[in-house]
Chain A
Amino acid sequence: MTNAPALLEEQAAASPSGPLLVVDELRTTIHTPRGDLRAVDGVSLTLDRGEMLGIVGESGSGKSVLGRTIMGLHTTGPTTTIQGRVAFDGLDIQQLEPARLRELWGDRIGMVFQDPMTALNPVKKIGVHLTETLRKHRGLSRAEARDRALELLAQVGIPDPRRRIGQFPHEMSGGMRQRVVIAMALANEPDLLIADEPTTALDVTVQRQILDLLDRLQDELGMAVILISHNLGVVAGRADRVAVMYAGRVVETAEAASLFRAPHHPYAEALLDAIPRLELPPHLRLDAIDGAPPNMLRPPPGCRFAPRCRYAQDDCVATMPTLAATPGVPDHRFACFHPVHLDAPEPAAPTADTAGGR
């Protein structure tokens, strides 16, 4: 434990000062009996050390597959084809040997799963869930691992860790279990945490606690986080940057403040309108998005949102728009021929106001 932080600093100093994660034109195609499903269809992203990126989109937009492909849990094989590149700290994830990947997983990249009811092994005690990863990656002894596990449980806000460590998952509430799942992912203080819908399966009151916990731990540990959610509201006020996904593609990406102030893609606008707000009058119908995402076995040729878009015109159906920068705001990119809110006031560049926007 004593030289671990020093070791991390050394690694950070040794590696190039570039972004922690670079995703370049990533495509994940899943071969199903009914045809090829293009779950991720040309996504490019970068993530800096210590940064939080929110990936938002409705169910089936490819967010989870993207997260798992970034991690290397999906690899090219009989059922899956992956094109493009994922570089994590200079390592080409898709080219790594399985044994090298297993060294990264749980050590430098952690993952938090959606449903804490199913993400913990029902026949293993809480303590074992934590100690097995500590012992594998850090070579800790039984006693050392137990001490560290107690520390972790306290860190994620579980009261009475000494009692909890000997319990089975079914003896805990959903919120407590999700804290355990988070502790498991954080056990070895990873550089990157991928949180895949970490609050979707939880009570509304517990959701907030879990998100605040992730927020606090990110600050404490200085790790980069990819927060995947179908709810822009979950990401608001927490993520530094947001990428909006639709049908396997990123349709808009920007500094969080910039996106929330002026979403340019009609889909991002619609997602924003779908967040319930306290200041809205009671019993108001929320603006839901009509229709359903396209069939990804046979996606339409033009803009994939066009069939549901109220601004769609002929050119939207004919050709696919690509990501382009907003005039004057190079960091705010969107893929739309007929963007909205372009006249909205935008700060010329990310200022102290947007950077510290939470």
Chain B
Amino acid sequence: MALRTVLKRLGELVLVLLIVSFGTFMLISLMPGDPAVSILGEGHSPAEYAAVRADLGLNDPLFERYLHWLGEALSGNLGTSIVPPYVDVADRIMGALPVSVELAVLGMGMALLFSLPLAMISAHRAGGRLDRLISAGTFGVLSVPSFLAGLLIIMVFANQLGWFPRAEWSRLSEGLGQNLYHAFLPALTIALAETAMFTRVLRNDLIGTLNEDFILAAKAKGMGTMHILFSDALRPSSFSLVTLMGISLGRLIGSTIIVEYLFALPGMGSLIIGAADNGDFVMVQGAVLVIAVIYVVVNALIDISYGYLDPRIRRAHV
């Protein structure tokens, strides 16, 4: 039975990925501008134009082009950039993706580290002074746009205190310590807004859980406050948080453009914006596809994790 449900899940996943890839493919066809014109620039003859179109396969039927593109994509070939310097799209993405993934994961990890205790303190004495303080704080942080938060962080930690470098990136291959040192401030910038959201969501769910009978029962067994918060209350309260984390991770990988810009990071956000600016539709297509696939896979994993969070779901539909 377990195998059958896993296979069913995988089948659904493949279907979703096909739809997503087709969407990506179509999206580019609908973009304004003609790729052949992008390649040739101004002042080309109709014969040149026709040759380039034929070369790109733009005259083939749509579905045939999709299948061809998908086949190439599956074998790891996302094509070649159509504007100078004509780099390999997959190579370029493999260069930028680790930066974005690392930023997103680090930022979310920090956000979790901050929000778990904050939410627990808040929920433990809901309505108390600390709870109101934390509520006001999270509201405040949420209302600060990330470019401002990033600027403030750079001002304080890089310029004033000089603890961290600004506007430099050190690849993982240059050593983990160096890499984390350079990634800290941008990750912190990302973590701020995420912390605020995570804290609010988890606090609300925790308050609900802490009113449950089984919490009173645990208390009546003499279990301590820490035990009750971590061992009894956290897991049943983490559904919304985990769902939010899945969405956040997918979102962060493709859209940390402001943070990437502030800290001059070579991530996916800058890659996509730069490519779109140059009319490099092959590059945009490849990047969007990769991000979409990551998003879908992460959220499928989140779905599976519900079964771990609540054993009652395990048999029902996973």
- Residues of A near any B CB (own CB < 8 A): 71, 73, 102-107, 110-111, 113, 115, 118-124, 132-133, 136-137, 168, 170, 181, 184-185, 187
Contacts and interface: CB of A to CB of B under 8 A. Distances in A.
Given A118-B212, A122-B311, A133 B219 contact: no
A106 B311 contact: no
B132 interface: no
B310 A184 contact: no
* Range class of the B interface residue count: 20 to 34
A121 to B, nearest CB: 4
B44 interface: no
Contact of A73 (B219, B223, B227): B219
B223 A120 contact: no
A137 B222 contact: yes
B32 interface: no
A120 B222 contact: no
B306 to A, nearest CB: 11
Contacts of B212: 118
8 contacts: A102-B223, A106-B220, A111-B220, A118-B213, A121-B214, A123-B235, A168-B312, A185-B220
B10 interface: no
A113 B217 CA distance: 7
B7 interface: no
Nearest to B215: A121
Contacts of B227: 132
A170 B232 CA distance: 16
Interface centre among B213, B219, B231, B312 (most CB of A within 10 A): B213
A111 B220 CA distance: 7
B236 A123 contact: yes
Nearest to B314: A168
Contact of B216 (A110, A113, A122): A113
B222 A121 contact: no
Contacts of B236: 121-123
B312 A113 contact: no
Contact of B310 (A71, A102, A104, A122): A122
Contacts of B217: 111, 113, 119-120, 181, 184
A105 B225 CA distance: 13
Contacts of A168: 311-312
Contacts of A106: 220-223
Nearest to B234: A123
Contacts of A133: 221-223
Contacts of A110: 220
Given A113-B213, A133-B222, 18 more contacts: A73-B216, A73-B219, A73-B220, A105-B221, A106-B222, A106-B223, A110-B220, A115-B213, A118-B212, A118-B214, A120-B217, A122-B236, A132-B221, A136-B222, A136-B223, A170-B311, A181-B217, A184-B217
B273 to A, nearest CB: 43
Nearest to A108: B222
B224 A119 contact: no
Given A119-B214, A121-B214, A121-B236, A104 B311 contact: no
B148 interface: no
A351 to B, nearest CB: 38
Contact of A123 (B216, B221, B222, B310): B310
Given A102-B224, A105-B219, A120 B214 contact: yes
B294 interface: no
Contacts of B310: 122-123
A104 B222 CA distance: 7
Nearest to B233: A121
A6 B78 CA distance: 77
Interface in B278-318: 309-312
A102 B216 contact: no
Interface in B190-219: 212-214, 216-219
B224 A170 contact: no
B232 A121 contact: yes
B311 A123 contact: yes
B32 to A, nearest CB: 52
Given A170-B311, A170-B312, A119 B221 contact: no
B312 A105 contact: no
Contacts of A118: 212-214
A168 to B, nearest CB: 5
A105 B220 contact: yes
Contacts of B216: 73, 113, 119
B99 to A, nearest CB: 37
Contacts of B231: 124, 132
Contacts of B232: 121, 124
B222 A105 contact: yes
Contacts of A187: 221
A102 B309 CA distance: 28
A184 B220 CA distance: 10
B218 A121 contact: yes
A252 B151 CA distance: 73
Contacts of A73: 216, 219-220
A151 to B, nearest CB: 18
A119 to B, nearest CB: 5
Contacts of A136: 221-223
Nearest to B213: A118
Closest CB pairs A-B (n = 3): A106-B221, A106-B222, A105-B222
Interface centre among B217, B231, B236, B310 (most CB of A within 10 A): B217
Nearest to A137: B222
Contact of B223 (A104, A122, A132): A132
Contacts of B223: 102, 106, 132-133, 136
A102 B213 contact: no
